[in-house]
Structure 1
Amino acid sequence: MKISVALLWITGLAEAFLAIPLIGGGFVISTGYTALGVMFVLHAITLFFCFREYSPKSGSILGIITSTIAWIPGIGWIFHLITAAVLLITAAISGNRARI
Structure 2
Amino acid sequence: MKLSSLLKWLTGGSEAFLAIPIAGGAFIFSNGWLPLLFMFVFHLITLVVSAKDKRSYAGSILGMITSAIGAIPIVGWVMHTVTAIVLLIDAGRSTSLDNKS
Give me the TM-score of the superposition, normalised by structure 1.
Answer: 0.99
Amino acid paired to 1:17: F
Match of 2:93 in 1: 93
Shift, 1:97, TM fit: 1.0
Runs of 4+ with >4 A deviation: none
Cα deviation, 1:6-57, whole Å, max 9, x if unaligned, reads: 0000000000000001000000000000000000000000000011001111
Shift, 1:98, TM fit: 1.1
Match of 1:67 in 2: 67
Q: Distance in 1 between matches of 2:55 and 2:62?
A: 15
Match of 2:55 in 1: 55
How many positions carry a matched residue from both structures? 100
**Which runs of 5 or more structure 2 residues have no equivalent in the other structure?**
none
Q: Distance in 1 between matches of 2:98 and 2:6?
A: 12
Match of 1:19 in 2: 19
Amino acid paired to 1:10: L
Q: Distance in 2 between matches of 1:6 and 1:71?
A: 26
> Taking every aligned residue pair, what percent have the same amino acid on both sides?
49
Q: Distance in 1 between matches of 2:72 and 2:21?
A: 14
Give me the TM-score of the superposition, normalised by structure 2.
Answer: 0.98
Shift, 1:64, TM fit: 0.3
Amino acid paired to 1:72: I
Match of 1:6 in 2: 6
